Structure formats: structure tokens, C-alpha cells
Amino acid sequence: MRPMLAEGIGTFWLVFGGCGSAVLAAAFPQLGIGFAGVALAFGLSVLTMAYAVGHISGGHFNPAVTLGQWAGGLFPANRIAPYVVAQVVGGVVAAGVLFVIASGLPGFDAAASGFASNGYGAHSPGKFALAACLLIELVLTAVFVVIINGVVSRPSLAAVAPIAIGLALTLIHLISIPVTNTSVNPARSTAAAIFQGGWAIEQLWMFWLMPLLGGVIGGAVSRGLRTAESANRRGRGGLMSNAR
């Protein structure tokens, strides 16, 4: 149960830190942190919790990452479902705590504000069409998983892996907050949608389908890159052996 608890706590912090910054601080009068601040909050939440509990569970905090690790040959299939359940539960608990805090603001309305939910079309921050939102979630999740699998599969990078992953998530948010409010994480999308309670639930299918598909693609790509790298090393080793 320790890995499940670690995943739940890590996802709690990601949702509370990232969505919390969007709900409570993004447009705060005169001192709002804006898109850049929210992007940094998501990146820092993953970075800090990866250092805190990553050694216990691997620090996925995201069903798409879990599936991508499996597709990349780095994670067993029989642990996917428990990880995903822990991530969703952790995210929903975080959104619940955030909802209670935000409700302390006079006139707060989660449905009207969007509660940091992900959306497309009329509910995209920039009113981007469904096709654009589908594509950006697919591409960014795939690249995110390639980055994650690339750094965690190299023991020499263990000390700095959370930094690379956190910065990657920050960049992803800087790119796509105007498009979908950035998901690349079905647990995060589900947590916010439950408390928004309307259109976000209706559009939630997309923020499961595309990140999970992107995770599998990214995992497969990273596995291919790792295999090619290993073959290349063996080839160089053979040449050196022949030279000797």
C-alpha cells in the first residue's frame, strides 16, 4: 500500500498546488500570478513531490504517465489499475479541500468560474476548436512521457530527474493553458470536473482519451529510443573490441 499512498499524496499535491493556484491566485486583484504563475505551480508541485515520495512509487501522479511507463517497458501491467485509482482519489480529495477553501470567498461559484476545469470549444480559454484541443493534448502528453521515461531509465540522472520533469510540465502548461487549460493528466481533469459539475463532466471524455493515448504513444517511442540506444552501444562496443 505504500506506493498507492505515495501516488495519492503526490496527486493530491499536484491538483491542490496547480489547480489551487489557478482558482485562488491566478486573477487575484492586482497581484494575480497569471498563466505563467499557474504553469510554474504545476511544475513545482510535481518537482517537489517527486523528490518527497518518488523513491516510493516512482512519482507518476498521473494515469497517462503510469500507462506510458507500462508502454515503455518500465512498469508492470498488474499495478496500473491500483495506481490509477490512487491518483484519481488523491486528486478528488485535493479538489474537495480546494472547493471548501474557495467557498470562503463571497459569491464564489465553482460552476460559473470553471474551477480550473479543462475544456474545448466554447469552454477552451481561447475558444479553440475540438480538433486543436485533441491534437495538443495528444502531442504534449506523448512528449511528456518521452521525457519522463528518458530520464527515469538512466540511473545517473536520478538526482535531477524531478527537475527535468517539473520543468517539462511547466513548459507544457505555458504552451497549452490558452488551448485546453492544460490537462495531460486524467486524474487532474476528473478532480476539477467533479466540482465544476456541468460542462466539464460532459467534456471529460476527451481528457481521458487523448492523454492516455498520448501516454501509450510516448511510452512506445521511448522504448524504441532506448532499444536503439542499447543497440548502438553494443555496436560501438564491438568495434572497440575488434580494434583491441
Query: Would you call 38 helix, strand, or coil by DSSP?
Result: helix
Under DSSP, the state recorded for 25 is I
pLDDT (tens, 9 = 90+) of the chain, 244 residues, equals: 999 999 999 999 999 999 999 999 987 666 678 899 999 999 999 999 999 999 999 999 999 999 999 999 999 999 999 999 999 999 999 999 999 999 999 989 999 999 999 999 999 999 999 999 999 999 999 999 999 999 999 989 989 999 999 999 999 999 999 999 999 999 999 999 999 999 999 999 999 999 999 999 999 999 999 887 766 665 554 443 333 3
Amino acid code (one letter) for 216: V
Domain, as residue range, for 160: 1-103+114-223
Do the domain assignments include residue 134?
A: yes
Q: 129 near 121, Cβ under 8 Å?
A: yes
Q: Residue 184's pLDDT is what?
A: 98
- Give a yes or no: residue 234 inside a domain: no
Nearest to 217 by CA among 22, 104, 39, 67: 67
Look up the CATH number of the domain holding residue 93: 1.20.1080.10
Structure pTM?
0.91
Count how many domains the chain has.
1
- The confidence score (pLDDT) of residue 67 equals 98
What is the structure's pLDDT at 57?
Answer: 95
Query: What DSSP string runs through 83-129?
Result: HHHHHHHHHHHHHHHHHHHHTTSTT--HHHH-TT----GGGSTT---
Long-range contacts for 55-59 (Cβ within 8 Å, ≥24 apart)? 56/2, 56/3, 56/6, 57/2, 57/3, 57/4, 57/6, 57/7, 57/10, 57/83, 58/3, 58/152, 59/6, 59/10, 59/162, 59/165
Q: Is residue 228 part of a domain?
A: no
Residue 165 near residue 45 (C-beta atoms within 8 A): no
Whether residue 232 lies inside any domain: the answer is no
In a domain, 52, yes or no: yes
